[in-house]
């Protein structure tokens, strides 16, 4: 299977990368089921997870069998960003991760939707979903950052912990017609604007070493990902070929 992945063309390789992003973050958000701080957030996080799962199914379907790709690949065969595989942590941590990623997705899908490439139809629908994801994360960032001393501290710690993973989002992905420099510039202005409005300090940028060039796109993942993958794939691997 690894050799087959290496033989993919640019479009399929890009679909795999974006599909893995959506699949992995969908699973992370699904882990909040039964644990969200309030019932309304239980529904909101589940809806965002389902949106991402829908994106993942379409994208992985462009590459091959979606179930095989989700449940039978080994860790090194996944091409998702390291950001999306980070554990949920507390609610502030989940919101900070969502703010960073949804802002990236909205810019990326917005550019793809304006083109006429193979991702344009999916992007035209997904960009509307992601606009809600970003607004949800923005509202909670403002509420927590400019809230109590406790909520402010938790939000700041979450941003500080996750910021180093955001640089990987702007490494070019072959097969995607994206202006990566412009995307990084607009993303930085968007996210830092939200953080400042929430009275949060913005971590240092890439020139100071606060960003690091992650290698999730190359199949190198952080330690929590292996544990998450084992949980996600356990049922399918335990009953190979089973059907409902």
**pLDDT tens by residue, 59-118:** 999 999 999 999 999 999 999 999 999 999 999 999 999 999 999 999 999 999 999 999
pLDDT digits (tens, 9 = 90+) for 213-237: 579 999 999 999 999 999 999 988 9
What was the pLDDT predicted at 242? Answer: 78
Under the phi-then-psi rule, with left for phi > 0, alpha for psi from -120 to 50, and beta for the rest, what region is 209?
A: left
Task: Report yes or no on whether pTM surpasses 0.85.
Answer: yes
Quick one: pLDDT at residue 211?
A: 52
In the predicted model, is pLDDT for residue 2 greater than 50?
A: no
Q: Indicate the burial class of 66 (C-beta count within 10 angstroms; 0-12, 13-18, 19 or more).
A: middle
pLDDT tens-digit series, residues 146-187: 999 999 999 999 999 999 999 999 999 999 999 999 999 999
Determine which helix (DSSP H) or strand (DSSP E) holds 92, and give its type and residue range: helix 91-114
Task: Give yes or no for residue 144 having a pLDDT over 80.
Answer: yes
pLDDT higher than threshold 70 for residue 209: no
The confidence score (pLDDT) of residue 171 equals 94
19-23, 24-28, 82-86, 200-204: segment of lowest average pLDDT = 200-204
Does 34 score more than 90 pLDDT?
no
Closest CA to 162 of 224, 110, 118: 224
| Tokens matching residue 35 | 């644990």
User: What's the mean pLDDT in 38-66?
Assistant: 95
Measure the CA–CA gap between 85 and 70, rounded to whole angstroms: 14
Question: Is residue 102 within 8 Å of 137, Cβ to Cβ?
Answer: yes
Distance CA 197, CA 195 (A): 5
Task: Tell me what pLDDT residue 71 has.
Answer: 95
Q: Rounded CA gap, 12 and 18, in Å?
A: 10
Mean pLDDT on 202-212: 60
Q: Which pLDDT band, with edges at 50, 70 and 90, does 42 fall under? A: confident
Give the C-alpha separation, 132 to 48, whole Å: 9
- Measured in degrees and rounded to the nearest 5, phi and psi for residue 138 equal -65, -45
Q: What are phi and psi for residue 152, nearest 5 degrees?
A: -60, -45
Indicate the pLDDT class of residue 244, thresholds 50, 70 and 90. low
Fold of 8-238: Ferritin (1.20.1260)
Q: What is the pLDDT of residue 4?
A: 44
Q: Are 197 and 140 in contact (CB under 8 A)?
A: no
């Amino acid at each position: 299977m690894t050799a087959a992945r290496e033989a993919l063309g640019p479009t399929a390789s890009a679909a795999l990368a974006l599909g893995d992003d959506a699949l992995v973050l969908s699973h992370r958000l699904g882990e909040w089921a039964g644990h969200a701080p309030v019932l309304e957030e239980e529904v909101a996080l589940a809806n965002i997870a389902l949106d991402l799962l829908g994106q993942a199914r379409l994208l992985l379907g462009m590459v091959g069998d979606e179930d095989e790709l989700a449940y039978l690949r080994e860790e090194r065969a996944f091409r998702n960003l390291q950001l999306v595989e980070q554990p949920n942590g507390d609610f502030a941590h989940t919101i900070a991760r969502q703010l960073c990623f949804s802002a990236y997705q909205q810019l990326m899908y917005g550019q793809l939707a304006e083109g006429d490439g193979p991702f344009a139809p999916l992007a035209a629908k997904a960009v509307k979903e992601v606009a809600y994801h970003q607004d949800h994360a923005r509202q909670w960032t403002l509420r927590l950052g400019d809230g109590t001393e406790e909520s402010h501290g938790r939000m700041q710690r979450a941003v500080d912990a996750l910021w180093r993973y955001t640089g990987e989002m702007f490494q070019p992905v072959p097969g995607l017609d994206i202006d990566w420099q412009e995307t990084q510039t607009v993303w930085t202005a968007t996210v830092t604007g939200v953080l400042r409005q929430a009275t949060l300090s913005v971590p240092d940028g890439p020139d100071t070493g606060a960003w690091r060039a992650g290698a999730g796109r190359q199949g190198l993942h952080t330690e929590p990902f292996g544990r998450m993958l084992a949980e996600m794939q356990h049922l399918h691997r335990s009953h190979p070929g089973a059907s409902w």
